[in-house]
Amino acid sequence: MSDKAVKHFIGGSYTAGTSGKLFQDINPVDGSVICDVHEGLKPEVDAAVTAAQQALRGPWGKMTIEERVAILYNVADGINARFDEFLEAECMDTGKPKSLARHIDIPRGAANFKAFAEVIKNEPTEAFSMATPDGAGALNYALRTPKGVIAVISPWNLPLLLMTWKVGPALACGNTVVVKPSEETPLTTSLLGEVMNEAGVPAGVFNVVNGFGPDSAGAYLTEHPDVDAITFTGETTTGTAIMKAAAVGMRDVSMELGGKNPAIIFADCDMDKAIEGVMRSVFANCGQVCLGTERVYVERPIFDEFVARLKQGAKGLKLGVPNDDAANMGPLISKEHQGKVLGYYALAKELGANIITGGGVPDMDDTLSGGAWVEPTIWTGLGDDSAIMREEIFGPCCHISPFTEEDEVIIRANDTVYGLACSIWTENLSKAHRVAGQIESGLIWVNSWFLRDLRTPFGGSKQSGIGREGGVHSLEFYTEMRNICVKL
Ligand code: NAD
């Protein structure tokens, strides 16, 4: 068994566990093996949950909010102090350009701890005085208490950012966590264990068990009876399986799931800004962003121009390795995911789509031939009921359809089982507000995309999720309210 294999982090120490099983962490750029990873099974999950329970009863549970807040600031500072290590690890695991991760993934990883430290510090207490029959009265006040041990199950597309988006508020609220990172991207979560120790986070507050979903660490964690709540980001089908596990024991869930997000481009938009925004929302992170656009609706008078300009933009994208600062896109996360995305590329062709650009595997340097590369792809010509328009592909691709009427495009944009995000492009503000108010999504951008203030509610409608996280909304999930009624 390799000593260099990524270990679990349980009770403040790194451990190989006892399963004796290893899996490989693969570099999507060229298919090479980065390292082995220890797979956690039931014993490792049991140990992590026990450590988390003990930490709740230990110093962590007795700390004041001010003390916890100071530690969370140390965690954020610790990530920033080791910024380059996190950047290297994240880009090795995901293959994404460092130029992207340097501005988004790693800074947001640190910011998540500070943002929720501020939220919990400023949360007011609710109090009501009431009359009583004897005239003396009573005072009610509500205390926010931690929920307990929180299971955090995270995906591979923005590994550090999305994991800390849950760990930050969970710890700010005084909970302890057991994290199961994606099997594709274990490195930054593992590194965070060191930062937690350096920051003074007591042992057992932050635990990590590596492994897969079914019959592995993920499923054992969600089934564990001493896990008090489960927060999950990933596919809607996985979320459904986790909800079933959570039903046993009535555990609360927070679900951030898939999407099939529309962009609506009106003829009166600022075309340059719309092209720039849609380019990012389709191709950033190689299209592997839950908020990304896969359906573009363009008002007829500007349809041809829009298609031509988006094509020009897509053809100008440079694919490259993480260290290539000129690269706009890396590979997909894995050969498996490449197979799925190329399956949709083949299906689009079979269904008779017009392939405006892309649709295959790009010519890359020989050294990268084992990587999970795909071409940025744009289609037109398919109907709204085709699989390309209905299923989440999660790759660098979109279908562009023309529309005529405002009411028509609202109905078509909403005609999906998902409801995560939408962007609307128009210079007519009345129209922007009118349309935005009718879109069935948790997040709606006007003349922008991916602008995020961490205090705002984040989450999806319909099959894109349950609950909202962000700012005070995270407190609803990560705390339990207790009402104390004092007879005066
Ligand atoms: P995934 O559902 O395959 O895996 C997510 C995590 O769940 C992984 O850690 C995986 O090991 C674990 N898992 C899988 N099966 C499990 C089970 N039965 N029990 C417990 N854990 C299990 O998702 P992914 O492929 O890693 O990520 C891509 C998906 O995530 C896309 O659908 C994307 O839209 C979605 N996503 C949503 C958001 C959001 O905020 N709504 C953000 C990012 C990604």
Ligand 1 mean position, distance from CA 154 (Å): 6
Beta bridge pairs of residue 479: 146
Residue 312 is part of which domain span? 261-453
Residue 139's CB: how many other CB atoms inside 10 A?
13
Cα 474 to Cα 119, 173, 454, distances in angstroms? 9, 9, 10
Counting ligand 1 atoms within 8 A of each CB, the residue from 93, 235, 257 with the most, and so the one to mutate, is: 235
pLDDT per residue as tens digits for the range 130-164 = 999 999 999 999 999 999 999 999 999 999 999 99
pLDDT per residue as tens digits for the range 241-299 = 999 999 999 999 999 999 999 999 999 999 999 999 999 999 999 999 999 999 999 99
Separation between Cα atoms, residue 160 and residue 157, nearest integer Å: 9
The residues near 98 (Cβ < 8 Å, ≥ 6 apart) are: 87, 91, 322, 323, 325
Q: Are residues 270 and 208 in the same domain?
A: no
Q: Are residues 249 and 273 in the same domain?
A: no
Query: Which residues lie with the beta carbon below 6 Å from any ligand 1 atom?
Result: 153-157, 162, 180, 182-183, 212-214, 218-219, 222, 233-235, 238, 241-242, 256-259, 290, 392, 394, 420, 460, 464-465
Separation between Cα atoms, residue 114 and residue 328, nearest integer Å: 29
Q: Of all residues in the chain, what percent carry a pLDDT higher than 90?
A: 99
Q: Are residues 435 and 331 in the same domain?
A: yes
Beta bridge pairs of residue 445: 423
Q: Are residues 235 and 370 in the same domain?
A: no
Quickly state the pLDDT bin for 3 (edges 50, 70, 90): low
Q: Are residues 475 and 426 in the same domain?
A: no
pLDDT per residue as tens digits for the range 62-109 = 999 999 999 999 999 999 999 999 999 999 999 999 999 999 999 999
pLDDT above 90 (res 1): no
Positions marked active-site: 256, 290
Tally the domains of the chain. Answer: 2
Separation between Cα atoms, residue 155 and residue 176, nearest integer Å: 20
Quickly state the pLDDT bin for 322 (edges 50, 70, 90): very high
Ligand 1 mean position, distance from CA 234 (Å): 2
Please report the DSSP string for 67-135 in residue order: HHHHHHHHHHHHHHHTHHHHHHHHHHHH---HHHHTTTHHHHHHHHHHHHHHHHHTPPPPEEEE--TTS
Q: Distance of alpha carbon 259 from its chain centroid, rounded?
A: 12
Q: Are residues 247 and 294 in the same domain?
A: no
Q: Are residues 358 and 245 in the same domain?
A: no
Question: Contact, 118 vs 127, CB < 8 A?
Answer: no
Q: Return the CATH number at 38.
A: 3.40.605.10
The owner of tokens 């459904």 is: 240
Q: Are residues 77 and 163 in the same domain?
A: yes
Say what the pTM is.
0.97
